[in-house]
Amino acid sequence: MIPKTYLEFEKSLELSQVPEEWSEGLKSIWYDAKGNWEASHNIAQDMHNTLGSWLHAYLHRKEGDRFNAGYWYRLAKKEYPTISLDEELRVIVEYIIQDKA
């Protein structure tokens, strides 16, 4: 079942595997929230759209690569964030859920 709220997304982190019916964007952010940066990055880098660029940016920001993150934020048409990584994760999840991306 696709989460309808951030709280439902958080609850999904108790699962051992990401649901197959989820979009690639939601799968990517789920893997990151589960602590699997590599799996999240592998999905994001194969998403050739604005959301993929945003996810890619967020992941490189998380890894501490400000230069690379900046490049991907520009591709995603986003300003470099001043919010925490946890806050950005929530913003991304809510965006994906709202847009069903």
C-alpha to C-alpha distance for 1 and 71, rounded to whole angstroms: 34
Alpha helices, DSSP H only, in 1-101?
6-12, 24-33, 37-44, 50-63, 66-75, 85-99
Q: Kindly tell me if the per-residue pLDDT of 101 is higher than 50.
A: no
Rounded to whole angstroms, the Cα distance separating 8 from 24 reads 18
d(CA 90, CA 17): 20
pLDDT the model gives residue 100: 55
pLDDT in tens, 35-77: 999 999 999 999 999 999 999 999 999 999 999 999 999 999 9
Residue 1 predicted with pLDDT over 90: no
- Tokens 């945003």 belong to residue: 54
pTM given for the model: 0.93
